[in-house]
Structure 1
Amino acid sequence: MDTQNYDLPALFGDVKFVCMGGTKYRMREFADYMRGILDLPRDTKLVNLTKHSHRYAMYKAGPVLSISHGIGIPSMTILLQEVIKLMYYARVRDPIFFRIGTSGGLQIPPGSVVVSSWCLNGTLEKTYDIPVLGKMRHIPAYFDKRLAQEVSSAAGLDGFQAYIGGTLAADDFYRGQARLDGPFCDYTEEDKMSFLKKLAGLGVKNIEMEATAFAAYTREAGVRASDVCVTLVNRLEGDQVTPSKATLLEWQQRPMLVVGKYIKKYLSYQNK
């Protein structure tokens, strides 16, 4: 998409919420879910607006843009920066960004939802670190506190617990997350447990692979944002995800439920 061949304000000017997640299937499901709870027409097929890119999928459901971002910080930040540009060219005012996904939990029951308030990188600093012009930049990685509280309260009585806390964003799924089940492991079970307990003592509730950069770039852009993830395992009890496929599928709906409730409530107040 570009500004010469597309009327971006006409296409995206009504967007209020940008929701991002790992896979195109999850984000298509989220867009369809939002059509339902916002009472939007569902008699037409959802269209992937970026299908010709063969990289990401983007669906629009009224004021909600639902986009896949792949796995990890590099993939996510490419998309995030392009969407920030898209919102600028579409003249969208004060959009709210969400990232929904899965994670490993720390000292909380599997199936819980974590709303991140701040993030740690792999060296346990509250920054997203990126080399620019040969020098390392350290960008603060904090989320909007008020938004985190509002989103957490939207969980309501849905049969699962929601927590606000810190998130460790790792650059690697195995050693970066202190796992013992990867192809390389040069530390012991005791080393792993000491590290995970240290994280828990710092207030970290979950571990995933995107939150620091998501927090840093949205904050730098002046955009309110929230990272909402369900936990699939308590990492203090093991590395393997053991629940059944049916249970995992149900758990993966939970961030959608929380964010969907928040969006519906927000729009209902705006329309009064």
Structure 2
Amino acid sequence: MATQEKKPENLQTSDEHSIHLSNPNISGMKEDILYHFNLGTKTHDLQTMFGDVKFVCVGGSPVRMKAFITYIGEELGLAPPGTDHPNICEGTDRYAMYKIGPVLSVSHGMGVPSIGIMLHELIKLLYHARCSDVVIIRIGTCGGIGLEPGSVVLTRRATDSCFKPQFEQIVLGKRIVRNTELSDDLNQELMECAKEMNEFNTVIGNTMCTLDFYEGQARLDGAFCSYTDKDKQEYLQAAYNAGIRNIEMESSIFAAMCGASGIKAAVVCVTLLNRLIEDQISSSHEVLVEYQRRPQKLVGYFIKKRLGRKA
């Protein structure tokens, strides 16, 4: 039987700031090495490097996250076109990290294990840097359910493959369940930005997070398939009826870890196809590139508005 995780009584916080570490061991460490970022509390002045961060945007691809920091740098007037932004994590090939002004852009790889490792070190980085009032937004791509390709989905809550709004993890042989609700206030703020932009369809819905791209997402085109097209259609229709509007592979642990750390978070993903119609992405490269820019444009608009810049 799974156990609903209780919030620890003694949270480690950066003063009265909003970053919480549910780990009393951190305060007693002489040095905290953020191994997969190639950063550490003794080797780097994390507060000087990252203390002004207010917006963290994460996504699977290092190339996409470098493109985002280039885009936001130009949008905020902090970097001229063509500026080359250095990878802060250059000493490792696990993740890539870029920063300009109050915006941090970090890649997280593909799937729950990869983003989970990254989030542990990212949350500790923000804690050590004594950041406050931070917003973390995952931007990415997904498969839509009942939506036209190119639609942007803001995740209300992440569900597992059985449509349960929870993230379950095995800790010391025990099943621990964490909540996967995301910030309603932040979603409403992003939706208002989308309405002001009026450039593409944007909806708020539940997101199914799976551990696999093929069978786990009811595709018929993997190396293995133990079900029929009829089975697939019934499953995806049941997901739609449960309020699920898209499928991806990171939202559940993202929502759970940000929530446990007291960080406002959102997931903003663009649909590349409607899974009720097809399994394989058939749009042209040019169309897909334009789709992938949509979450960046919406989040960029949101950041500019938050900073009082002309949108």
Smaller-chain TM-score range?
A: over 0.9
Per the alignment, residue 17 of structure 1 pairs with 55
Per the alignment, residue 5 of structure 1 pairs with 43
Amino acid at match of 1:222: G
DSSP 3-state at the match of 1:93: coil
**In 2, Cα distance between equivalents of 1:64 and 1:243:** 31
Superposed displacement of residue 104, structure 1? 0.4
Q: TM-score under structure 1 normalisation?
A: 0.97
Amino acid at match of 2:45: D
| Per-residue deviation, residues 217-263 of structure 1 (Å, max 9, x unmatched) | 10011000000000000000110111111000000000000111101
The question of whether the paired residues in 1 share the 8 Å contact of 2:187 and 2:204 is answered with yes
**In 2, Cα distance between equivalents of 1:213 and 1:112:** 23
The question of whether the paired residues in 1 share the 8 Å contact of 2:69 and 2:105 is answered with yes
Q: Would you say how many aligned residue pairs link Structure 1 and Structure 2? A: 270
Amino acid at match of 1:32: T
Per the alignment, residue 288 of structure 2 pairs with 248
Per the alignment, residue 274 of structure 2 pairs with 234
Per the alignment, residue 261 of structure 2 pairs with 221
DSSP 3-state at the match of 1:53: coil
Superposed displacement of residue 108, structure 1? 1.0
**In 1, Cα distance between equivalents of 2:145 and 2:79:** 40
Superposed displacement of residue 44, structure 1? 4.6
DSSP 3-state at the match of 1:155: helix
Per the alignment, residue 140 of structure 1 pairs with 179
Superposed displacement of residue 210, structure 1? 0.4
TM alignment of 1:62-101, pairs within 5 A: 62-101=101-140
Per the alignment, residue 234 of structure 2 pairs with 194
DSSP 3-state at the match of 1:33: helix
**In 2, Cα distance between equivalents of 1:123 and 1:228:** 22
| Per-residue deviation, residues 136-175 of structure 1 (Å, max 9, x unmatched) | 1111111010101111221234431000010000100011
Amino acid at match of 1:255: P
RMSD: 1.3
Per the alignment, residue 37 of structure 1 pairs with 75
DSSP 3-state at the match of 1:160: coil
- Verify: 1:61 aligned to 2:95, yes or no: no
Q: TM-score under structure 2 normalisation?
A: 0.85
Per the alignment, residue 149 of structure 1 pairs with 188
| Per-residue deviation, residues 107-137 of structure 1 (Å, max 9, x unmatched) | 1111000000101112221111110000011
Per the alignment, residue 159 of structure 2 pairs with 120
Amino acid at match of 1:227: V
DSSP 3-state at the match of 2:306: helix
- Unaligned residue ranges in structure 1 (runs of 5+): none
Percent same amino acid among aligned pairs? 45
**In 1, Cα distance between equivalents of 2:115 and 2:273:** 23
- Unaligned residue ranges in structure 2 (runs of 5+): 1-38
